[in-house]
């Protein structure tokens, strides 16, 4: 089967799942109310899935490693730390926590500032080795996670419930103002990055080969890392962290398409991500009656797949 046919099938499947998600239970009496609630959730799923898949594909290309995800940069842990720190310092009724718009802007801004500061310091010190950068990001992520856990032990249980809601991704209640900002940011960033699709094909060959082909490696990598940080920050602040989704959809895309061309891989990984999120949300709502957060199911499946990849690489 050709690559184009596989992409068309993924488009059809995602369209069917979205139609089912929107139309199940809709009738002439409730359609206006139901669709007004479900359409923003579908848009949030598409934006979140697209941002995570897109950033994860670029991240694996830049690092030249199929078992890494942007979460190793510590942004997921930083997001949880921000939410915990604000509640710990000011309480759950503080404007920063209660107002979703303010919380979104602060969270995204701090995550992007942290990422850019980290990149600037690492490259300024002459440590252009991407693996060293990942190691530093992993250390910061562990630090943020430890600090969050410590503060969560000290705060009031009622206030911890507020933090707990932010620790797991949820598409059940989406703020339209935040959603609009996220849509604009993600579309602009993805549109900008698509100009580097052919350069990403060269980057997938490795640093030395990319430089031999005329790619300004360090400059392009810096730009791609900033793109990754923005997309991960926006998706995390919009719905919460989903650690293994990117790993899952990106590797499935590589397996199904078996190509190096990012114009296909990026598109297909976004479609697979939408299928996973919409289909998963349907199962959570219609079969499991909201008993389990979608992020828990995806992280479980992604974690099992991660172990499979590790075993596969070790045998290779």
pLDDT digits 0-9 by tens, 59-117: 888 888 777 778 777 888 888 888 888 888 777 666 555 567 777 888 888 888 888 88
Q: Containing H/E element for 305?
A: helix 294-315
Q: What is the 3-class SS of 169-217, one letter each residue? A: CCCCCCCHHHHHHHHHHHHHHHHHHHHHHHHHHHHCCCHHHHHHCCCCH
pTM score: 0.85
Residues 241/229, Cβ–Cβ less than 8 Å: no
Residues 10/268, Cβ–Cβ less than 8 Å: yes
The closest of 288, 276, 262 to 3, measured between CA atoms, is: 262
Handedness of CA 31, 276, 266, 190 (dihedral sign): positive
Which pLDDT score is estimated for 313?
A: 64
- pLDDT of 4-25, one tens digit each? 899 999 999 999 999 988 888 7
């Amino acid at each position: 089967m050709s690559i184009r046919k596989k992409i068309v099938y993924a488009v059809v499947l995602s369209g069917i799942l979205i139609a089912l998600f929107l139309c199940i239970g809709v009738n002439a009496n409730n359609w206006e109310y139901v669709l007004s609630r479900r359409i923003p959730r579908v848009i949030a799923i598409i934006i979140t899935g697209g941002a995570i898949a897109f950033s994860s594909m670029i991240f694996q290309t830049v690092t030249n490693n199929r078992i890494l995800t942007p979460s190793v940069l510590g942004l997921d842990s930083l997001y949880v730390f921000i939410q915990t720190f604000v509640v710990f310092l000011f309480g759950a009724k503080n404007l920063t926590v209660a107002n979703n718009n303010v919380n979104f802007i602060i969270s995204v801004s701090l995550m992007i500032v942290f990422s850019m500061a980290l990149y600037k310091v690492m490259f300024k010190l002459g440590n252009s080795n991407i693996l060293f950068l990942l190691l530093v990001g992993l250390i910061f992520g562990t630090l943020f996670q430890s600090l969050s856990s410590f503060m969560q032990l000290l705060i009031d249980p009622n206030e911890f419930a507020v933090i707990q809601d932010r620790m797991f991704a949820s598409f059940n209640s989406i703020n339209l103002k935040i959603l609009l900002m996220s849509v604009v940011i993600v579309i602009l960033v993805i549109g900008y990055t698509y100009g580097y699709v052919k350069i990403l094909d060269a980057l997938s060959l490795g640093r030395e080969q990319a430089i031999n082909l005329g790619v300004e490696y360090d400059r392009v990598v810096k730009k791609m890392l900033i793109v990754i940080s923005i997309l991960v920050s926006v998706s995390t602040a919009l719905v919460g962290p989903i650690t293994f989704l990117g790993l899952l959809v990106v590797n499935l895309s590589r397996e199904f398409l078996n190509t190096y061309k990012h114009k296909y891989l990026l598109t297909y990984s976004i479609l697979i991500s939408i299928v996973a999120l919409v289909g998963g949300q349907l199962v959570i709502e219609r079969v499991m009656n909201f008993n389990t957060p979608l992020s828990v199911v995806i992280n479980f499946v992604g974690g099992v797949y991660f172990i499979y990849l590790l075993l596969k690489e070790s045998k290779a």
